[in-house]
Amino acid sequence: MHILLVTDSYPPEIRSASHLMLELAEELYRRGHRVTVATTWPRYNLNTADKQYRYSEFMNEHGIEVLRFKTLRHHNVNYIYRGIAQLLMPFAFLRKFRKYHISLPDVVMVYSPPLPLALVGASLRKRGVKFVLNVQDIFPQNAIDLGALTNPLAIRLFHYIEKKVYRAADIITTHSDGNRILLQNQHPQLKNKFTTLHNWADLSHFKKDIKKDFRKIYGIQNKFVAVFAGVVGPSQALDILLDAAKQLTDYSELLILIVGDGAEKNRLQKKSKAMGLNNVMFQPFVSRDDYPDLLAASDVGIISLSPKNKTPVVPGKLLGYMAAGLPTIALLNRESDGHYLITESKCGYSAPSDNPNAILTAFRKIYEHRENLKTMGQSGQNYVSQNFSKEQCVNALEVMIAASEQLCTE
């Protein structure tokens, strides 16, 4: 089969979505499929070497055809500009397809967000291409909940796009059962289209030999390191971590290490300095290749989501922590399916992100019972291996596509 993956995030950009799409592309190619990736031009979260590399719009990367298109900036800009950029994005993609005479694929799989990019899938569906929509964040609802989307006309427009692409899709996947049930309740007439396709972890990526000693690089050899690695934006609400750090100064060895970048980073750095926090450190993104070394240098992984989120979203970095055998503290909105996942896998502790006392309790438990870290890390790793390996999840995707094709021929 010829499979087209459409996403706004792909390496060399460093973020969980880009890594997820790379792993999917590599696994599909390994299974004998022809794989084409259409994505945006690499601008965000790049390491030094990748900033200096010369990219072209069309590249063959280890057998995978990668198309990178220049679009308006859509990260680290104000919400109005971002909305306009996202609305124009699918038209830029379709125009470039015509320029490069890209043959019609058998299947197009679109990663959302950004939701308007799914219009690429809807357009190709009219030409007989099987359309799989992979919904990660439930947009526009999550933007409304966060207060990022308030204009009534914009809300109506994005709801219109949501309904349009949902109707066009043959299969709509969500990364957890909670998200699937929520969407089925919101769109009962499309109930049979929704299915759960869990995000996956590439366990082999975390079994490589350590090349970089990040404890030495950062000068934190004698610290108990709790790392947050990822995008530093409004949805993550990392003020939660600074407030917790202020209350945890009695643990002299504890260091909260924030590795990443985003719209909120500068503000948080200034706030941390104003609060006089000596137990918080900020560092830039590390590359995908260096990421396992960063986690190996840490004692605990942190995930954080704003309590303003009202959907069952599970941050992608959770599975990466688990695959690396890293115990986890999950500070999540009450609706998140991540609470269940932490409890079921026994890989750490979770707390509602609107409950400061529960957050402090989670940190104190994991710090004061360090003898349990190895057991929790191993438990999480075993759970991912049994339930969320890359191979298992891609198997499930292939079965979904085959079943959908069978229904069309009956």
% of the chain beyond a pLDDT of 70: 98
Q: What's the CA gap between 75 and 91, in Å, rounded?
A: 18
Beta partners for residue 293, in sequence order: none
Structure tokens, 27: 């696994």
Q: Mention the CATH class of domain 204-387.
A: alpha beta
Ranges of the chain with pLDDT below 70: 48-49, 405-410
Identify the pLDDT of residue 241: 97
Output the CA–CA distances (angstroms, integers) from residue 78 to 83, 261, 390, in the order listed.
Answer: 9, 16, 35
Identify the pLDDT of residue 404: 76
Domain 2-200+389-409 and domain 204-387 have a common topology: yes
Phi, psi of 338 (to 5 degrees): -65, -30
Which helix (H) or strand (E) covers residue 67, if one does? strand 64-69
Which helix (H) or strand (E) covers residue 44, if one does? none
Interval 69-93: pLDDT, tens: 999 888 877 888 888 999 999 999 9
Interacting residues of 378 by C-beta distance below 8 A, sequence separation 6+? 325
Structure tokens, 161: 């796009």
**CATH number of this structure's domain 2-200+389-409, picked from the four choices 3.40.50.720, 3.40.50.2000, 3.50.50.60, 3.40.190.10:** 3.40.50.2000
Amino acid at 82: R
Identify the pLDDT of residue 406: 58
DSSP string over 287-344: -TTTHHHHHHT-SEEEEE--TT--S----THHHHHHHTT--EEEEE-TT-THHHHHHH
Q: Is the dihedral of CA 371, 376, 381, 382 positive or negative?
A: positive
DSSP at 88? H
Structure tokens, 75: 């990260």
Per-domain residue ranges for the chain? 2-200+389-409, 204-387
Q: Quick one: how far is CA 270 from the chain centroid?
A: 26
**Ramachandran category for residue 227: left, alpha or beta (phi over 0 → left; psi -120 to 50 → alpha):** beta
Identify the pLDDT of residue 225: 98
Identify the pLDDT of residue 316: 87
